[in-house]
Structure 1
Amino acid sequence: MPIPPTDFATVESPAQLTFAEALASVRELQPKILAQAAETEARTYYSEELHLDFMRAGLYNMLRPATFGGYEFDVADYLKIVREIARSDMSTAWCFCLASAHVLWMASWWPAEAQREFFSTPHTAAGGTSAPGGTMRKADGGWIINGVFPYASGGPYSTHFLGHVFPIAEDGTQGPLSVFIAPRSLWAVRDDWGRTLGLKGSGSHTVEIVEGFVPDSHVLLGKTIIDMDVDGGTPGWALHKNAMYNGRGLSTFTLELASLGVGGVLGALDSYREVITSKRTALPPFTLRSENPTYQLWFADSVTRLRAAEACLDTAARDFMECATRSAKGDGSFSATDDAGIGRLAFAAQTDAWHVLEHILMRTSGSSTLVNGSRMERIWRDFSMLHSHQNSIVQDITAPLYTAGLLAEPS
């Protein structure tokens, strides 16, 4: 059975929102997010109660342009909020992030005509996928889309869907892969998620579109989120005058996933702290583990490495803004090499967080901490799914391209 759409357009968000206020709201919600984590897994997406909490706190509108009533948080601050949600539950954060973050792309690459429709209601979010999932054929004033799109994270509470299809001409020839955005009325969310090792509550269901019509303004013909050329300025830059809306896609997507991973391991560190301050060592003098020099070393290493991972993410987000600003103002390019470099910097943070989780926190927390349903066990399962995500493979593929771009630059 498909998951029915929900309509919470009448829920009011704050007229203004600062980063400090958003952070305070998330920290207030953290105990509830953590308490509902098992239910979120069983349901395969977070509760309507949490969805309403996120709406009332204004969290879906962090990247929404001020032109359309949003707060225009910079990318670094948005990702910090995502990390704090993931600190309580990676699945909840994944479902939230991979819908709310796509607002950045909606406000960047699509023309003003389309954006006015996307942001016509107070709540806008878009689940999506980068893999091609179907075809589209030309119709009067637009396109007819048919497709099945697995792993469409964030769908249950999304107002739109971002997908990729191949245009098919009347003679049957296939055109270049293209990206589109479709409103919720055109697609169904299949109830088919939850059988994976982890991220069972991430809302990564399959989206299906049957004979769905979208206008020309909703389709970017021959363009994909993986390689969106922004030099010369985007519609978002022209409309909003904020260089944040003049950025590429691969780097921002990697920043999102890496932030989810680092946030999850921060949660594992919280769990580890509870363990070492409540359990004793296995050897004499049988002190609390927190009083043992070896456990103190492990804890210090974990804290230090995670702080470094967070700093790495902040640097990558700052690099994104510098490249986007340079390109928007015509002072240089936001190249594919830049895009790959920012993504690889974010992926380095993700990889370091995985090392902390696997080689320190899990290895030294004790088997009783890893029973089914425990917080540490759930984080490990969720991060294992992140670590096996296709984007991790993409980072290896982009490494030679990044190197070639760097070596082509003057020394």
Structure 2
Amino acid sequence: MTVTAIVPPNGFPLPPEPELTPEEVVARAVAIARTLVARQSEAEERTYYAADVHEAFSRAGFYRILVPRRYGGYEFGVDTFMRVVRALARGCPSTGWMYCLGAVHAVFAGTVFEERAQEEIFSVGDFIAPATVMPGGTAERHPDGGWIINGRFGYCSGAPYATHFIGHALVTHEEGEEPAPMLFVAPRDQFRRLDDWGQQLGLKGSGSHTIVMENAHVPDYCVLHTHMSFYQVSEDTPGRRLHINPQYGGGPLSFMMLESACLAVGIAYGALDEYEELMRTRNTLFPPVMSRAEDPDYQRWYGEATGKLATAEGAIENTITQWQDLCVEGPQAFTPEVEFRLATMCREVIRLSWTAVEQFLFPTAGSSSVSRGQRIERVWRDLSMLQSHAGISVAMNTMVNRELSKARFGIQDQH
């Protein structure tokens, strides 16, 4: 389903490089990723990737990969975007994470918001919008029919260069009612970023700062009275009607898990790259002393990790293909059972990636290779941080399993 040519309808703006292909944009990501390896510590110290890296991403077209053609984007397939993510995360986990969770939400915005909202949010060209699922504020009606939002929203990966923010606020319609979540998208001039990231165990350079909104005004057409995770695509979506492209009608829950799984694979491959270098340049610690590449134990450890990561990579590519094929079938194909099954596939990809690093690469690399600031040490910290994400550590190991089973067997909740 990857798009290979840019032929926008009459009257639509062309992207900066109309002849750019998916293969070229992925090749650019691979080349840039090589330069990121030596800048990982720098990104962590700054807590986000540098301005020149941001500019390089913009010139390469990375922030328009998923932006609809209608608004001057490339509208390449999700498969192309995820290959770019894996490449960047392999070079620098924090940079890959920050890029992914800022640029990926062009698909969600292009799916759920009506035409008027999309015309506004995509008018900037490059689109970077961190999103959070936890309601971090409150929303009250403005006399003009819009909303006034106040609150603090944590873990906004991509905030430093964000053009927009997608979040949730709680709305109380009448006294005594339970507050209900409201999804919104707001431009940069309606929020500010706190300098509060970088003290965590891992992903210190992921730009996951807190966003603050103070009496921010959001028009009603940029609001949906639902939660991102609960948005239903069983019927036609605004994006599918507007863009024709079926990828703007896919299931959001499974799509969110694709992001984490792709990042996990890319990050883990960075550790494998470093382990391979150690195999080539280091000797064994105990007699008979020989190159690690010649030692049967190191050969076994390297082979175990390689097999797990190759399997994880194949699985995530297959999951992406299934997601895209379901988009072509139509919104009705994204049943709850299908959504949860795809999510569990992503969970297994993450488990394989973590196992390759945690059981084989990290413990056998040697103490000097996992000291502070070393590449394998950083990957271990970053994947540990990913493991602590509530959506992965809690929801994916409990709720998703239950909901998949209930959907399969037609079991309804009794409360």
TM-score between both structures, scaled by the size of structure 1? 0.93
Say yes or no: does 1:353 pair with 2:353: yes
Q: Secondary structure at the match of 1:122?
A: coil
1:198 is matched with 202
1:110 positional shift: 0.4
Could you tell me which runs of 5 or more consecutive residues in structure 1 were left unpaired when the two chains were aligned: 1-11
1:7 is matched with none
Moved >4 Å (runs of 4+): 170-175
Judge conservation of contact 1:13–1:57 (CA < 8 Å) in 2. no
Deviates more, 1:16-25 or 1:207-216: 16-25
1:54-203 matches, cutoff 5 A: 54-139=57-142, 140-169=144-173, 171=175, 173-203=177-207
1:247 positional shift: 1.3
Judge conservation of contact 1:326–1:334 (CA < 8 Å) in 2. no
Judge conservation of contact 1:167–1:175 (CA < 8 Å) in 2. yes
Once residues 123 and 72 of structure 1 are traced to their aligned partners in structure 2, the CA distance between those partners, rounded to angstroms, is: 12
Say yes or no: does 1:267 pair with 2:274: no
Measured against aligned partners, the alpha-carbon deviations of 1:48-75 in whole angstroms (never above 9, x if no partner) come to 0000000000011111111112122222
2:61 partner amino acid? G
1:251 positional shift: 1.2
Once residues 310 and 410 of structure 2 are traced to their aligned partners in structure 1, the CA distance between those partners, rounded to angstroms, is: 33
Once residues 45 and 141 of structure 1 are traced to their aligned partners in structure 2, the CA distance between those partners, rounded to angstroms, is: 37
Q: Secondary structure at the match of 2:282?
A: coil
Alpha-carbon RMSD: 1.5
Number of paired residues?
Answer: 394
Once residues 136 and 307 of structure 1 are traced to their aligned partners in structure 2, the CA distance between those partners, rounded to angstroms, is: 46
1:173 positional shift: 4.2
Give 2:53's match in structure 1, choosing from 50, 55, 61. Answer: 50
Once residues 290 and 154 of structure 1 are traced to their aligned partners in structure 2, the CA distance between those partners, rounded to angstroms, is: 39
1:403 positional shift: 1.4
Give 1:217's match in structure 2, choosing from 221, 230, 254. Answer: 221
Judge conservation of contact 2:30–2:84 (CA < 8 Å) in 1. no
Once residues 307 and 318 of structure 2 are traced to their aligned partners in structure 1, the CA distance between those partners, rounded to angstroms, is: 16
1:289 is matched with 292
1:100 positional shift: 0.2
1:161 partner amino acid? F
Measured against aligned partners, the alpha-carbon deviations of 1:162-211 in whole angstroms (never above 9, x if no partner) come to 00111133647454211100000000000111110011111110001011
1:242 is matched with 245
Give 1:257's match in structure 2, choosing from 237, 256, 260. Answer: 260
Once residues 150 and 341 of structure 2 are traced to their aligned partners in structure 1, the CA distance between those partners, rounded to angstroms, is: 35
Once residues 361 and 314 of structure 2 are traced to their aligned partners in structure 1, the CA distance between those partners, rounded to angstroms, is: 20
Once residues 253 and 54 of structure 1 are traced to their aligned partners in structure 2, the CA distance between those partners, rounded to angstroms, is: 22
1:261 positional shift: 1.1
Would the alpha carbon gap of residues 34 and 108 (structure 1) be closer, same or farther in structure 2, given more than 3 Å must change? same
Once residues 408 and 318 of structure 1 are traced to their aligned partners in structure 2, the CA distance between those partners, rounded to angstroms, is: 27
Could you tell me which runs of 5 or more consecutive residues in structure 2 were left unpaired when the two chains were aligned: 1-14
Say yes or no: does 1:365 pair with 2:365: yes
Once residues 162 and 113 of structure 1 are traced to their aligned partners in structure 2, the CA distance between those partners, rounded to angstroms, is: 16
1:381 is matched with 381
1:399 is matched with 401
Once residues 190 and 337 of structure 1 are traced to their aligned partners in structure 2, the CA distance between those partners, rounded to angstroms, is: 39
Deviates more, 1:295-304 or 1:92-101: 295-304
2:366 partner amino acid? G
Q: Secondary structure at the match of 1:162?
A: strand
1:323 positional shift: 2.4
Judge conservation of contact 1:132–1:166 (CA < 8 Å) in 2. yes
1:39 is matched with 42
1:394 partner amino acid? A
Measured against aligned partners, the alpha-carbon deviations of 1:354-374 in whole angstroms (never above 9, x if no partner) come to 000001001111111001111
Once residues 26 and 79 of structure 2 are traced to their aligned partners in structure 1, the CA distance between those partners, rounded to angstroms, is: 13
Identity %: 37
2:73 partner amino acid? G
Once residues 102 and 157 of structure 2 are traced to their aligned partners in structure 1, the CA distance between those partners, rounded to angstroms, is: 7
2:7 is matched with none
Judge conservation of contact 2:172–2:180 (CA < 8 Å) in 1. no
Once residues 25 and 300 of structure 2 are traced to their aligned partners in structure 1, the CA distance between those partners, rounded to angstroms, is: 33
Once residues 220 and 410 of structure 2 are traced to their aligned partners in structure 1, the CA distance between those partners, rounded to angstroms, is: 38
Judge conservation of contact 2:203–2:382 (CA < 8 Å) in 1. yes
Once residues 131 and 326 of structure 2 are traced to their aligned partners in structure 1, the CA distance between those partners, rounded to angstroms, is: 25
